[in-house]
Amino acid sequence: GQQLNQSPQSMFIQEGEDVSMNCTSSSIFNTWLWYKQDPGEGPVLLIALYKAGELTSNGRLTAQFGITRKDSFLNISASIPSDVGIYFCAGQVEYGNKLVFGAGTILRVKS
Amino acid sequence: DAGITQSPRHKVTETGTPVTLRCHQTENHRYMYWYRQDPGHGLRLIHYSYGVKDTDKGEVSDGYSVSRSKTEDFLLTLESATSSQTSVYFCAITQQRQETQYFGPGTRLLVL
């Protein structure tokens, strides 16, 4: 079946540093999504990418849909303590079809 | 806020008992999904629905059944709960005009 490899598995960074995480797949996806999950809550959508090569920003977050359609990255600039949580990438083949999730990146920030 | 609620939010049950989790949405979305989340696995799809009485299996459907008798409710049933089904269960929906899934707050299930 389709699988997503998300890395790194966890990160422990200083407040103010930039963060980068990525997902790769052996399969092509038409949509890439990035979610953040806080403890005890459901994942919340951060950024959605619909076209190969697309670069999209949401505040301090920037994500790109890889040209090959098999990868995506998420950057967080100038991290702050509230950025802690688990970040998930997800790929979707077509509208209404199921998502395939990466295992998540745990982000911890030192204040 | 995509208008999704899940009930119960927490449940403790015993091995062998049936359990039903409910996902309720208020915005007439066509697609609804059930996922389970376990450490190291991210979220894995159990079942999904693409309309009333239309459902299909996901990657981890064994031991689970679903029903959707009306648009707003998608029920997940553990026919005979096992300890391996201890997990956090999330419902998700797809907005009608968009392709992204939005998640409910989750149900934490403990099977003793």
- Using the CB atoms, write b or e for A1-35: b if 16+ within 10 Å: eeebebeeeebeeeeeeebebbbbbeeebbbbbbb
- Please give the structure tokens belonging to residue B76: 């997940």
Higher pLDDT: B69 or B97? It is: B69
Determine, for residues B103 and A101 on separate chains, whether the beta-carbon distance falls below 8 Å.
no
According to DSSP, the β-strands at A31-37 and A85-92 are antiparallel
In angstroms, the Cα distances linking A21 to A2, A101, B56, B72, B74 are 20, 14, 32, 36, 34
Q: Is the pLDDT of residue B81 over 50?
A: yes
Q: For residue A98, what pLDDT is reported?
A: 76
Q: Is the pLDDT of residue B98 over 60?
A: no
Q: For residue B42, what pLDDT is reported?
A: 85
If you write DSSP's letter for every residue of A74-94 in order, what string do you get? EEE-S--GGG-EEEEEEEESS
Q: For residue B27, what pLDDT is reported?
A: 86
Closest chain B residue to A4 measured between Cα atoms? B42
The answer to whether the CB of B33 falls within 8 A of the CB of B101 is yes
Distance CA B22, CA B66 (A): 10
Q: For residue B84, what pLDDT is reported?
A: 96
Determine, for residues A103 and B59 on separate chains, whether the beta-carbon distance falls below 8 Å.
no
Q: For residue B97, what pLDDT is reported?
A: 47
For tokens 């927490």, the residue is: B10
CA distance B83 to chain A (A): 21
Once rounded to an integer, what is the mean pLDDT over residues A100-107? 93
Q: What is the distance, to the nearest Å, from the Cα of residue A65 to the centroid of all Cα atoms in its chain?
A: 11
Determine, for residues B106 and A41 on separate chains, whether the beta-carbon distance falls below 8 Å.
yes
For tokens 């996902």, the residue is: B23
CA distance A111 to chain B (A): 26
